[in-house]
Structure 1
Amino acid sequence: LLREMGKGYLALCSYNCKEAINILSHLPSHHYSTGWVLCQIGRAYFELSEYMQAERIFSEVRRIESFRVEGMEIYSTTLWHLQKDVALSVLSKDLTDMDKNSPEAWCAAGNCFSLQREHDIAIKFFQRAIQVDPNYAYAYTLLGHEFVLTEELDKALACFRNAIRVNPRHYNAWYGLGMIYYKQEKFSLAEMHFQKALDINPQSSVLLCHIGVVQHALKKSEKALDTLNKAIVIDPKNPLCKFHRASVLFANEKYKSALQELEELKQIVPKESLVYFLIGKVYKKLGQTHLALMNFSWAMDLDPKGANNQIKEAIDKRYLPDDEEPITQEEQIMGTDESQESSMTDADDTQLHAAESDEF
């Protein structure tokens, strides 16, 4: 029994999440239905970005062990991803009432206020988590992501470095450093740090996707496509990966391939304005002005303020040929400025926003 539990935990620590779920799910029912085992399964689903499944498992943990604090920081981030503010608020209050000296409780509180976009309060709570336990890598990482959202990049860098100091295998922190270097257009440094994160968690489609984006920025377009293809093999329905692959294909003037990718993506995220926007740009390049304008119009109808929420990233100028200029009002409104921080990168951050605790 202990050997099987150990195998499952080892698989989880190695980020072989499907294997971990399979091993732990075959434990005898009276061992399976314990807080520790279910927390590990919940973590595994979280790592796979299967947030609904993770929430189901963690809510069962809360039902059978309402006093449990360990692992609840991952549950709080799961609720953050699902935008379940009421459930997150209840969890945060329960944990802080139960144990004000646990970093997990303050991380949950920070996530609660982060979801409400109360970044200053969230920062205070994450700092409180660090005060409670200075060796809690997860809190440093969450704090770093919050500083990124407030554009305090130097403070964010310090937080991610502290997380790595505490736990060198905390891949989220390596990812955070790469993300900041990408924002600063230090693409070689960004690629190096994303690769460090990938070495720790080789099953992450999001990390592969980011490496592909950086490789494209470094003018390694074919290599970028190979990397994005690997990401999609791992997670065929990841909209982030498919969007970036379509963008790279568009930049390489492979318009029909890009269009096919975008049509598939439209089935996954039918209300994502940027998909229609890029489809419009493809049709424009193909000389089909009517279809181009129709898709630009749909993009505007879906997102009149340009504040999209699902895929979450404005089309970067690095994806466009040098002679590409916006010619329509819709394109100008949607914004192709590479410095514009839109919601896709925010979502990427939070996809890795807290995928592991310092136990790993």
Structure 2
Amino acid sequence: MEKNQLGIQYMQEGKWEDAAKVFMEAIEENPKDPVSYINFGNVLSAVGEVEKALKFFERAIEIDENAGAAYYSAGNLYFEQENFDQAKNMYEQAMKKGINTGDNYFMLGMSFVQLEQDKLALPYLQRSTELNPEDAEAYFQYGLCLAQLELIDEAIPQLKKCVAVDPDHADAHYNLGVAYGFKEDEKQAKKHFDRALEIQPDHLLAGYGKKLIEKGEEE
């Protein structure tokens, strides 16, 4: 088995030291192959060696400026470090270099969300749902982004798609409750607040939403 493939297998098995050893051997054997640097950076990232990991991603980009996976991996590191502006830049670079995956669109959208630029996030989150139609979190974040922009009628179908993929997504049910509350459909709102509480009994916001509806019904 080729060393990079073997190293990835070790990573999947959680054998980080074995993976690191194999990737380092691959780098020594072929120091001009950016893939080995990206893989070694991903191992370092997984074990929390952030600064070292970034150096390996940067080295991969020095060797091949079109190594899209290096930009994407660096973006993930910056996102985890809450450096959302730099994360956004890296995901954009990854896209320019051909990384047009649902995950890259999703993370670019989430970077814009964290930068409080919901309008800019919208098309990327939408595209992520098209590319990953079984990704409940993509539907949830897209629906949430629509709701933040007060596009309630557009948000509801996305949140419904989220709970169709993942029926136990408590936050999606809560936000459906809020959306139906805005539309003054108390029956549907209460149904989704109840479902959120069934999944997560300590969901404070769902409990508060349910109490508000019950109070309104009493009055």
What TM-score do you get using the length of structure 2 for normalisation? 0.75
1:247 aligned to 2:174?
A: yes
1:157-196 alignment, distance < 5 Å: 157-167=88-98, 169-196=100-127
* Number of aligned residues: 201
In 1, the alpha carbon distance for the partners of 2:208 and 2:120 equals 35
In 2, the alpha carbon distance for the partners of 1:201 and 1:282 equals 28
User: Cα offset for 1:178?
Assistant: 1.0
Q: Structure 1 pair 227/282, CA: closer, same or farther in 2 (3 Å)?
A: closer
In 2, the alpha carbon distance for the partners of 1:146 and 1:185 equals 20
Does the 8 A contact of 2:112 with 2:120 survive in 1?
A: yes
Q: Structure 1 pair 219/75, CA: closer, same or farther in 2 (3 Å)?
A: farther
Q: Structure 1 pair 158/75, CA: closer, same or farther in 2 (3 Å)?
A: farther
Alignment correspondent of 1:230 = 161
In 2, the alpha carbon distance for the partners of 1:284 and 1:164 equals 42
User: Cα offset for 1:190?
Assistant: 0.5
Does the 8 A contact of 1:255 with 1:282 survive in 2?
A: no
What TM-score do you get using the length of structure 1 for normalisation? 0.48
User: Cα offset for 1:94?
Assistant: 1.4
Q: Structure 1 pair 189/120, CA: closer, same or farther in 2 (3 Å)?
A: same
Alignment correspondent of 2:4 = 69
Q: Structure 1 pair 129/247, CA: closer, same or farther in 2 (3 Å)?
A: farther
Does the 8 A contact of 1:70 with 1:104 survive in 2?
A: no
Q: Structure 1 pair 206/95, CA: closer, same or farther in 2 (3 Å)?
A: same
The 3-state SS of whatever aligns with 2:69 is helix
User: Cα offset for 1:262?
Assistant: 3.9
Q: Structure 1 pair 89/107, CA: closer, same or farther in 2 (3 Å)?
A: farther
Which moves more between the two structures, 211-220 or 121-130?
121-130
User: Cα offset for 1:167?
Assistant: 0.3
Gaps in structure 2 of 5+ consecutive residues: 182-188, 212-219
Question: Cα RMSD over matched residues?
Answer: 2.9
Q: Which one has a larger percent helix, Structure 1 or Structure 2? A: 2
User: Cα offset for 1:182?
Assistant: 0.6
Which of 192, 195, 198 is the aligned partner of 1:260? 195
User: Cα offset for 1:71?
Assistant: 8.7
The 3-state SS of whatever aligns with 1:69 is helix
Cα distance per residue 1:67-87 (max 9 Å; x no partner): 3425955974x56xxxx4xx1
1:138 aligned to 2:62?
A: no
Does the 8 A contact of 1:73 with 1:107 survive in 2?
A: no
Percent identity of paired positions between Structure 1 and Structure 2: 20
In 2, the alpha carbon distance for the partners of 1:195 and 1:215 equals 10
The 3-state SS of whatever aligns with 2:150 is coil
Q: Which has the higher contact order (CA 8 A, sep 6+)?
A: 1
Q: Structure 1 pair 256/172, CA: closer, same or farther in 2 (3 Å)?
A: closer
Cα distance per residue 1:226-257 (max 9 Å; x no partner): 11222333x335x5xx1331230343442442
In 1, the alpha carbon distance for the partners of 2:62 and 2:152 equals 45
Does the 8 A contact of 2:125 with 2:138 survive in 1?
A: yes
1:254-333 alignment, distance < 5 Å: 254-264=189-199, 275-278=200-203, 280-287=204-211
Gaps in structure 1 of 5+ consecutive residues: 1-64, 265-274, 288-360
Q: Structure 1 pair 255/72, CA: closer, same or farther in 2 (3 Å)?
A: farther
Which of 90, 102, 127 is the aligned partner of 2:58? 127
Cα distance per residue 1:297-350 (max 9 Å; x no partner): xxxxxxxxxxxxxxxxxxxxxxxxxxxxxxxxxxxxxxxxxxxxxxxxxxxxxx
Alignment correspondent of 1:221 = 152
Does the 8 A contact of 1:208 with 1:230 survive in 2?
A: yes
Does the 8 A contact of 1:213 with 1:244 survive in 2?
A: no
Q: Structure 1 pair 68/94, CA: closer, same or farther in 2 (3 Å)?
A: closer
In 2, the alpha carbon distance for the partners of 1:115 and 1:129 equals 18
User: Cα offset for 1:221?
Assistant: 2.9
1:89 aligned to 2:24?
A: no
Q: Structure 1 pair 142/232, CA: closer, same or farther in 2 (3 Å)?
A: same
What letter corresponds to residue 135 of structure 1 in structure 2? N
User: Cα offset for 1:205?
Assistant: 3.1
